[in-house]
Copies of this chain bind each other. A is one copy, B any other.
Amino acid sequence: MLDLIKSLAVQNQSKIVLLVADGLGGLPLEPGSPTELEAAATPNLDALVARNVCGLSIPVGPGITPGSGPGHLGLFGYDPLSFTIGRGVLEALGIDFDLGPDDVAARGNFCTVDENGRITDRRAGRISTEASRPLVEKLRTIRLDGVETFVEPVQDYRFVLVLRGRDLGDGIDDTDPGRTGVAPLEPTARGEASERTASLLREFIAKAAALLKDDHPANMVTLRGIARRPPMPQFEEVFGLRAAALAVYPMYRGLARLVGMRILDAGRTYAEQIEALQRHWTDADFFFVHYKYTDAAGEDGDFQRKIRCIEEVDAGVPEIAALGPDVLIVTGDHSTPSLMRSHSWHPVPVVLAAKSCRPDRATAFGEAHCLQGGLGQVEAKHLLPLAMAHAGRLAKFGA
């Protein structure tokens, strides 16, 4: 399908904005009550829905709960089942680490272990970025035979470990057991090609444990998402769109960079993101604007805060629309129902605004309304081709 899109893509002056409210979709707290989005006052999004076309976006497939990687790849027009992005890769890209094609990256967490080596806190009391910095410096003193080692701080208790060398493998399981009361797992290779790399990581962890033993609560590390970057067809090459990302959080910048988007300085708030969008309006054809806090509120199980976050997203819509994008899509990368305190598989409301929309009967932006929408229930990966069609950027297929 990417080949087809590439062969049909044509150039014009149109602009497309993709506004992603992370984890937008939700659930009612009890039967008969509204979802977060349905409860929120969203006059601007409602007006968009009433004049345009809406529907529900299926991030990966029915029943499949996506992480941030697959969720965004789908929105970027890629089949998320065809491209696997390890978390280590995401974290590395998100801090502007210049990851080489053969580098192996892992997401590291500082954690707390008791005297028996059992994890008591998987996030080391969520120590601050400042507190973790000297610990990262300690880890940087670790030397491993035959590979170059990079340890980079990320945020709070998180860091990135990158191994650079020849013949490294990334078929290695996470060492974070995902729960407390047990010891971290040993790095274990899933095949011969990764045996040496697993052994190097075991050595790294043993040395880290020795260096950190007096740094309670951050007296141990775990590694997750040990991976190389996948070879991805680049966004502009496939879709013919000069793409730019406005994301406050590192991971989403990393995802955008992975597909070749230009990363703009988005500031630290939604208002600053919109200002940056205005400032850079002539610099790209496609803008990805990422709003994180809907997801964060859902993950915290905070139904009311998620409502307020959605209302904040809504309040920015007129300023974005005022720029006159030919196509504006507002959706999420997945649902994060406050009720579940986690990502979920539920389809995500989506509205697509363009002059060539065939209006449907939906009049407000919400899960039930979007069920009546003209987009139907559509896999997320189809939204970008749809946007390109509405922007006049896809030529006719076949005679």
A residues near B (Cβ < 8 Å) are 1, 4, 8, 27-28, 31-32, 35, 51, 56, 60-71, 80-81, 84-87, 90, 107, 225, 337, 339-340, 342-346, 356, 358-361, 367-368, 371-372, 374, 376-378, 382-383, 385-390, 394-399
Q: A368-B360, A376-B376 are in contact. Are A64 and B31 (CB under 8 A)?
A: no
A344: B residues at CB distance < 8 A: 356, 389
Closest 7 CB pairs of A and B: A63-B385, A87-B399, A62-B382, A63-B389, A67-B398, A70-B398, A63-B386
Q: How far is the CA of A107 from the CA of B399 in the complex (A)?
A: 11
Enumerate chain B residues within 8 angstroms of A62, measured Cβ to Cβ.
378, 382-383, 385-386
Instruction: Given A67-B399, A399-B67, A399-B86, check contact A61 B371 (CB 8 Å).
Output: no
- Please list 23 pairs of residues, one from A and one from B, whose beta carbons are closer than 8 Å in the complex, sorted by A's number: A28-B358, A28-B359, A61-B385, A62-B378, A62-B382, A62-B383, A63-B389, A63-B394, A64-B385, A64-B389, A64-B397, A65-B396, A65-B397, A66-B398, A68-B398, A70-B397, A80-B398, A84-B398, A85-B399, A87-B399, A346-B358, A367-B374, A376-B376
Q: A65-B389, A66-B398, A90-B399 are in contact. List 9 more A-B contacts (CB 8 A).
A: A27-B356, A60-B397, A62-B383, A62-B385, A69-B399, A71-B398, A87-B399, A107-B399, A225-B399
Chain A contact residues: helix, strand, loop or mixed: loop
Copies of this chain, how many?
2
CB distance from A14 to the nearest CB of B (A): 14
| Min C-beta distance of A182 to chain B, whole Å | 18
Q: Which of B31, B64, B340, B359 makes the CB contact (< 8 A) with A51?
A: B31
Q: Within the assembled complex, what's the spacing in Å between the Cα atoms of A359 and B377?
A: 15
Who on chain B is nearest to A227 by CB?
Answer: B399
Measured CA separation A374–B349 after assembly (Å): 12
CB pair A63–B32 under 8 Å, yes or no, is no
Please determine whether A4 and B64 come into contact, CB atoms closer than 8 angstroms: yes
Cβ B359 vs Cβ A32 within 8 A: yes
How far does the alpha carbon of A63 sit from the alpha carbon of B53 in the complex, in Å? 13
* A356 proximity list for chain B (CB < 8 A): 27, 337, 339-340, 344
Contact B361 A397 (CB under 8 A): no
Closest chain B residue to A26, Cβ basis: B358
Smallest Cβ-Cβ distance to A66: which chain B residue: B397
Q: Please give, as numbers and ranges, the residues of chain B lying within 8 Å of A32 by CB-CB distance.
A: 359
- How far apart are the CA atoms of A388 and B340 in the complex, in Å? 15
The answer on a CB contact under 8 Å between B65 and A394 is yes
Of the residues B64, B69, B377, contact of A8 by C-beta under 8 Å: B64
Closest residue of chain B to A251 (Cβ to Cβ) is B399
A70 vs B396: C-alpha distance when bound (angstroms): 10
Taking A358-B367, A367-B358, A399-B86 as contacts, is the C-beta distance between A382 and B28 under 8 angstroms?
no
Q: Which residues of B contact A374 (CB under 8 A)?
A: 367, 371
